């Protein structure tokens, strides 16, 4: 992807003036009939979000509660809600608000806080006694997360689940088995067979441990299961139809996962690449954590029609993608790392490919969103060549990285890569071992666009996504057909090649010539960046006046643009089928019209 821009989210955090908080009363009755459980719900850089839950496990009402704990030096509370929190050195105390102190038998209440540092609470006390409900041994910790369940004996209506045991300082009592987030069973063993399921249906299973004090630990990793039988998925045919969803699009572009539903696009795609994760210090990492898993959605903004709550473990784009997959179970989602902006870290990653692959799997399989992602996509621009930065890791580095990813992720995950479409002699395709790496990958997203544009400010004007060569093309080999042919010649199977489509145009200004090949004075104005504009804008503001090499172009006033239309996409899809390609992909969803006419053209053209 040639252009990558993100808008930083300005997120203000309210810091409570602890010195001014209401003073604490003396502890009430010893906590022999109540428990306090702590869970770290989110983590970022040097901070985190924590949640305490106080539960009345007795037979009489609790009139008030006070939770105390110690943090190690360097860890502190920076803001809190639903409790008054004060500190004395490293000792922290939280007391109920006036409206949430009374708890009937069996009732519970939670309060949360943002923290700085990386420590965990110790020496917990609830109303002066033990947080596990006893009068001695204060500081009982909740159990650890159980292992991600494995699935076996899958039938039309049942599945057997097994998981590795959780650990606890006082002992594990039992496990809750969750199907799609709802509890379906409580068992003492580390296995369970779920029955009464629907044939040909996708489910997501997680497990949560409970200790002898009835404290629930964190939910473990998720396992996706599809029962046998039923209708064949996906309904969109046997070709891959993939679109990129940009993490930063939720800001200035105001494009959200729900737009895939309202536009009708969700029913016409098979895969989504979520772009982009970053590559830092040789490791995969989430880039914008707020957009990814913290941004709260209202009921009208969300795919499910349900509003996010402050204490739910996952919000943001990841939760919306989870809801989309529940609604459209044929869709698979891959986490894409790198891109034009973040490819500088791949050279270091290739020096220890196994460690890089492990870090990527840890991100993809984070227990909070493990059921969201079905694979990983690597967008290295460009191995052993120059993009935003230049890489000199050698022609074998890309293959080494792909081999490590496949070894780490195994066969149950998709592993793909977006690669150069430079088909020139001695160009970027020749710089790396794409042929050798193909054996480890499910497919390549061949970026057959951005060949020409106003990065050459004076022109000549040329279509940025030519399907074929043509007389006067500024650079030999800069077209889809030559790129695909070169990759096939290097041994990449046709079915592992996807043709790239841009849902945007590239343009110049100061152009007097309508036909391609004219001179220019610079980049045409664009909504977000000079020289680039979405199709949804261009189709009305500068309608196509001709086609060349399978791509439309338009001359309006002094501006000259090239872009794909439903008609040119249809012809490109016919060509892709004639070449035996695995399908097509596009950058990116938000450039399409509100009714998804370009995505519809890709879908129709590949049937």
DSSP state of 293: I
Q: Are 356 and 277 in contact (CB under 8 A)?
A: no
Query: Any idea which residue has 């497990």 for tokens?
Result: 207
Alpha-carbon distance of 174 to 210, in angstroms, equals 5
Q: Are 162 and 152 in contact (CB under 8 A)?
A: yes
Q: Is 170 left (phi over 0), alpha (psi -120 to 50) or beta?
A: alpha
β-bridge partners, 497:
444
Query: Any idea which residue has 């839950």 for tokens?
Result: 53
* Cis bond upstream, residue 503 (ω within 30): no
DSSP state of 291: I
Query: Any idea which residue has 């399978």 for tokens?
Result: 550
Alpha-carbon distance of 272 to 302, in angstroms, equals 18
Strand extents, DSSP E, 103-232: 108-116, 122-126, 129-130, 150-152, 159-162, 172-179, 182-187, 191-194, 202-211, 216-219, 223-226
Helix (H) or strand (E) holding 99: none
Residue 494: both structure tokens together: 């046709």
Q: How many CB atoms lie within 10 A of CB 26?
A: 7
Alpha-carbon distance of 118 to 86, in angstroms, equals 19
Q: What is the 3 state secondary structure string of 52-69?
A: EEEEECCCCCECCCEEEE
Chain mean position to CA 460: 38
DSSP state of 529: B
Spell out the residues 6+ positions from residue 424 whose beta carbon is closer than 8 angstroms to its own.
Answer: 475, 476, 477, 478, 482
Of 381, 417, 403, whose CA–CA distance to 242 is shortest? Answer: 417
Q: Are 77 and 120 in contact (CB under 8 A)?
A: no
How many residues can be counted in the chain? 607
- Report the first-to-last Cα separation within the chain, whole angstroms: 26
Q: Which residues participate in catalysis according to the annotation?
A: 381
Spell out the residues 6+ positions from residue 116 whose beta carbon is closer than 8 angstroms to its own.
Answer: 46, 47, 75, 76, 78
Taking CA 391 as the corner, what is the angle to CA 389 and CA 393, rounded to the nearest 5 degrees?
165
Of 336, 425, 432, 453, whose CA–CA distance to 386 is shortest? Answer: 432
Q: What is the CA radius of gyration of the chain?
A: 27
Alpha-carbon distance of 272 to 260, in angstroms, equals 11
Taking CA 381 as the corner, what is the angle to CA 375 and CA 384, rounded to the nearest 5 degrees?
115
Cα separations in angstroms, 191 against 146, 147, 207: 11, 11, 10
Q: What torsion, rounded to 10 degrees, do the Cα atoms 178, 365, 110, 87 define?
A: 160
């Amino acid at each position: 992807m040639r252009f990558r821009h993100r808008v930083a989210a300005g997120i203000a955090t309210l810091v409570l003036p602890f010195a001014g908080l209401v003073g604490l009363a003396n502890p009430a009755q010893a906590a022999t009939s109540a428990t306090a459980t702590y869970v770290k719900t989110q983590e970022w850089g040097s901070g985190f979000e924590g949640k305490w839950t106080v539960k009345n496990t007795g037979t009489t009402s609790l009139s008030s509660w006070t939770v105390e704990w110690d943090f190690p030096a360097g860890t502190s509370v920076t803001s809190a809600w639903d409790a008054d929190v004060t500190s004395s050195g490293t000792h922290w105390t939280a007391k109920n608000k006036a409206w949430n102190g009374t708890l009937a038998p069996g009732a519970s209440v939670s309060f949360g806080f943002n923290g700085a540092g990386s420590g965990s609470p110790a020496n917990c006390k609830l109303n002066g006694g033990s947080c596990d409900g006893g009068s001695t041994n204060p500081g009982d910790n909740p159990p650890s997360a159980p292992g991600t369940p494995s699935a076996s004996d899958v039938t039309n209506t049942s599945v057997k689940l097994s998981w590795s045991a959780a650990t606890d300082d006082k002992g594990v009592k039992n496990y809750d088995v969750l199907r799609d987030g709802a509890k379906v069973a409580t068992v003492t063993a580390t296995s369970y067979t779920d029955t009464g399921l629907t044939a040909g249906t996708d489910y997501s299973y997680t497990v949560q441990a409970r200790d002898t004090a009835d404290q629930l630990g964190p939910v473990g990793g998720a396992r996706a299961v599809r029962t046998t039988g039923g209708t064949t998925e996906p309904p969109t045919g046997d070709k891959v139809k993939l679109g990129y969803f940009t993490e930063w699009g939720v800001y200035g572009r105001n494009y959200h996962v729900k737009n895939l539903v309202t536009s009708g696009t969700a029913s016409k795609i098979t895969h989504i690449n979520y772009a982009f994760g970053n590559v830092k210090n040789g490791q995969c990492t989430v880039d914008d954590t707020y957009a990814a898993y913290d941004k709260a959605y209202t009921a009208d903004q969300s795919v499910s029609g349900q509003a996010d709550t402050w204490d739910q473990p996952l919000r943001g784009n990841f939760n919306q993608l989870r809801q989309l997959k529940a609604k459209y179970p044929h869709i698979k989602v891959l986490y894409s790392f790198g891109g034009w902006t973040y490819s500088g870290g791949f050279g270091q990653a290739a020096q220890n490919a196994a460690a890089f692959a492990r870090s990527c799997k840890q991100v993809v399989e984070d227990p909070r969103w493990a059921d969201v992602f079905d694979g990983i996509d690597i967008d290295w621009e460009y191995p052993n060549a120059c993009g935003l930065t230049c890489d000199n890791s050698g022609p074998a580095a890309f293959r080494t990285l792909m081999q490590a990813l496949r070894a780490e992720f195994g066969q149950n995950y998709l592993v793909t890569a977006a690669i150069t479409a430079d088909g020139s002699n001695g160009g970027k395709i020749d710089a790396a071992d794409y042929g050798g790496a193909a054996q480890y990958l499910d497919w390549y997203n061949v970026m057959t666009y951005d060949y020409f544009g106003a990065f050459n400010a004076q022109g000549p004007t040329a279509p940025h996504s030519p399907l074929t060569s043509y007389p006067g093309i500024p650079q030999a080999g800069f077209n889809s057909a030559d790129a695909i042919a070169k990759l096939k010649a290097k041994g990449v199977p046709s079915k592992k090649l996807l043709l790239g489509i841009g849902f945007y145009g590239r343009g110049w200004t100061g152009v007097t010539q309508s036909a391609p090949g004219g001179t220019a004075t610079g980049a045409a104005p664009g909504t977000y960046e000079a020289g680039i504009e979405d199709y949804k804008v261009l189709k009305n503001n500068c309608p196509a006046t001709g086609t060349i090499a399978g791509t439309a172009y338009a001359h309006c006033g002094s501006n000259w643009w090239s872009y794909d239309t439903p008609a040119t996409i249809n012809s490109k899809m016919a060509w892709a089928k004639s070449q035996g390609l695995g399908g097509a992909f596009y950058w990116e969803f938000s450039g399409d019209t509100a009714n998804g006419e370009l995505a519809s053209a890709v879908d129709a053209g590949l049937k």
